[in-house]
Structure 1
Amino acid sequence: MNDAPHAPGSRGATPQTPASPQAAPERSAGPAGARPRAQESQVAQSEPQQPPKQRGGRNLPAAIGVGLSLGVVIIISLFVVKVLFLIVVVAAASVGVKELTSRLAERKGIEVPLPPLLLGGLAMLTSAYWIGLQGAAASLALTALALMIWRMSRPPEDYLRDITAGVFTAFYVPFLASFVAVMLSAHDGPQRIVLFLVVTICSDTGAYAVGYKFGRTKLAPTISPGKTREGLAGGIGLSMLAGALLMSWLIDGGHWWQGLILGGCAAVIATIGDLAESMIKRDLGIKDMGTLLPGHGGIMDRLDSLLPTAPVVWLLLTAFVGG
């Protein structure tokens, strides 16, 4: 008979006293504060998976798809019947006005009369196309007068605040867009619009690409933390290159050096316009003006650089090759 003690866990080992119910969970709990694996698995399955965020805050596939779709609409409307593009501009400006006034009402309680703004915007854009800037300026003045009269139907409190916001909206969106209508009315209007759109888009694209890769020095950290000086330089360079090529290819009497000047000025003004809208959105406490365009935000989030650039491009084209 072998009297040697059995090794723990071997066959024939002496049965050990079962642990108390209170002790069992302590052995299986693992490190202090850790959850059992089964519980962790259930929690992981119940928590929704968050999609990875793109650098720069954009959903790039959606943004590219929307951008290409808008490009197709613009090209077709420009080169089939010019007036179709004017309709596109009117629609974009109207939606932009609605977005801006809605955010002002939601975030600041500013009640801007919408009907006179929409009718005034239509008058500004159509008169700019058929009459010229004189018609757009007269329509802006009449829109301001209509806002003053329309607002009289409500109590006088905050009258000046609401009218000021309304006149600002009328100037910022439809009046600045009127310069697009004036460019469109020229004999080579579609070519001028293509030049205007391409140099502005190249400014945004070049700034994003160069800033993404090489951006180190913040341009305006308190206004738009994502913008860098390196990105601005990239946007200016790409816009100048596009301006030089398109000015000599598309515009009758245009020269490459004129395109360099036009592209550089457009890139600077487009950046200022983007920063200006960022200031407005920060004041309102919002990220985007709307949600109409996936990957972009609202219409105003795409018009922010185009609107202030339009009068600059119109002025330079008029100086270089005439109206």
Structure 2
Amino acid sequence: MLFLCLNLLYRFLLPATLIVINDIAAYIFGFFFGRTPLIKLSPKKTWEGFIGASISTIISAFLLANVMGRSKWLTCPRKDLTTGWLDCDPGPLFKPEPYSLSGWIPHWFPWQEITILPVQGHALCLGLFASIIAPFGGFFASGFKRAFKIKDFGDSIPGHGGITDRMDCQMVMAVFAYIYHQSFVVPQNLSVEMILDQIFMNLSFDEQQALYRRLGEILQQGFQSHS
């Protein structure tokens, strides 16, 4: 059966939202507190805006992952176009786990234990990348525009220099999110059903029959060796 969506949380929504938050926070912190230029390619960007946006993005990633991770619309894997997939077990990444803070905070503090989702740890990695590395996509775009002596890539979005100016950091983030998802998220959610779905999706009917026969022979040999 076709596996339509592994989970929207890492595929698109959270990484894209973090870039938007970082961009807005950088503008706000730079506008009110910006004094020190960050890079010559983007004269309006400041260290104050960069640092403020980084902190805001990482905190937002941790909180948003908790909110989004509790929504079955974003975490349940889809196998068809019906709504039955909403009744699912989203997996261990989205199950709250208690963490003790006794070794980190004074004993008189009221919250000695907190409950978070394991997925929030992954979100911190995405937030760190979105706040520190992804903005360099914007710096590259700025340098590209200056090399061709143009101010903006277009005027489709007034005041933002067109769609391309809104997508420069998103493209860098999308590549990282995909690699991170495939490397650190997918292996933890693998199941026999998912593996078989991926195998049989690319096999013809005759090839599936041959696979079943071969699996039957392996099982029979295993039984005979233990008998």
Give 1:189's match in structure 2, choosing from 8, 17, 24. 8
Alignment correspondent of 2:65: 247
- The CA distance in 1 between the partners of 2:177 and 2:67, in whole Å, is 17
| Structure with higher strand content | 2
Alignment correspondent of 2:143: 279
- Superposed displacement of residue 295, structure 1: 2.0
Contact 1:215 1:231 in 2 (8 A): yes
Aligned residues: 140
User: TM-score, structure 2 length as denominator?
Assistant: 0.56
Give 2:158's match in structure 1, choosing from 294, 307, 317. 294
- The sequence identity of aligned pairs, in percent, is 33
Asked whether 1:215 is paired with 2:34, we answer: yes
Asked whether 1:312 is paired with 2:183, we answer: no
- Superposed displacement of residue 202, structure 1: 0.9
Bigger relative contact order, structure 1 or 2 (CA pairs below 8 A, ≥6 apart) = 2
What is the identity, as a one-letter code, of the residue corresponding to 1:207?
Answer: A
Cα root mean square deviation, aligned: 2.3
Give 1:260's match in structure 2, choosing from 124, 127, 131. 124
- The CA distance in 1 between the partners of 2:129 and 2:121, in whole Å, is 13
1:191/1:320 CA distance change after superposition, 3 Å:
closer
Give 1:234's match in structure 2, choosing from 48, 52, 58. 52
- The CA distance in 2 between the partners of 1:315 and 1:250, in whole Å, is 21
What is the identity, as a one-letter code, of the residue corresponding to 1:303?
Answer: M
Greater CA radius of gyration, 1 or 2?
1
- The CA distance in 2 between the partners of 1:262 and 1:270, in whole Å, is 10
Asked whether 1:206 is paired with 2:25, we answer: yes
- The CA distance in 2 between the partners of 1:249 and 1:190, in whole Å, is 11
Alignment correspondent of 1:269: 133
Contact 1:199 1:266 in 2 (8 A): yes
Contact 1:248 1:259 in 2 (8 A): no
Unaligned runs of 5+ in 2: 70-74, 76-92, 94-117, 188-227
Give 1:321's match in structure 2, choosing from 185, 188, 196. 185
1:111-190 alignment, distance < 5 Å: 186-189=5-8
| Structure with higher helix content | 1
Unaligned runs of 5+ in 1: 1-129, 131-184
- Superposed displacement of residue 189, structure 1: 2.4
Deviations 1:124-149 (A, max 9, x none): xxxxxx9xxxxxxxxxxxxxxxxxxx
- Superposed displacement of residue 261, structure 1: 2.0
User: TM-score, structure 1 length as denominator?
Assistant: 0.40
